[in-house]
Amino acid sequence: MLPNNVYAVPTALPAPVVSVVMNLATGKKQAYDTDPRKAVIAAHAQSLNDWNSWQYEQRYGRLVQTTQHVVTCGDWSAFRCSCHCTWSTASAYL
**What pLDDT, in 10s, does the model give residues 23-79?**
999 999 999 999 999 999 999 999 999 999 999 999 999 999 999 999 999 999 999
Residue 17 confidence (pLDDT)? 77
Q: Is residue 33 part of a domain?
A: yes
Q: Is residue 7 part of a domain?
A: no
pTM: 0.74
Q: Is residue 10 part of a domain?
A: no
Number of domains in the chain: 1
Q: What is the per-residue DSSP string for the chain? A: ---TT-----SSPPPPP-EEEEETTT--EEEESS-HHHHHHHHHHHHTT---GGGHHHHHGGG-EE-SSEEEETTEEEESSTTS-GGG-HHHH-
Q: Is residue 80 part of a domain?
A: yes
Q: Is residue 2 part of a domain?
A: no
Domain limits for position 80:
19-93
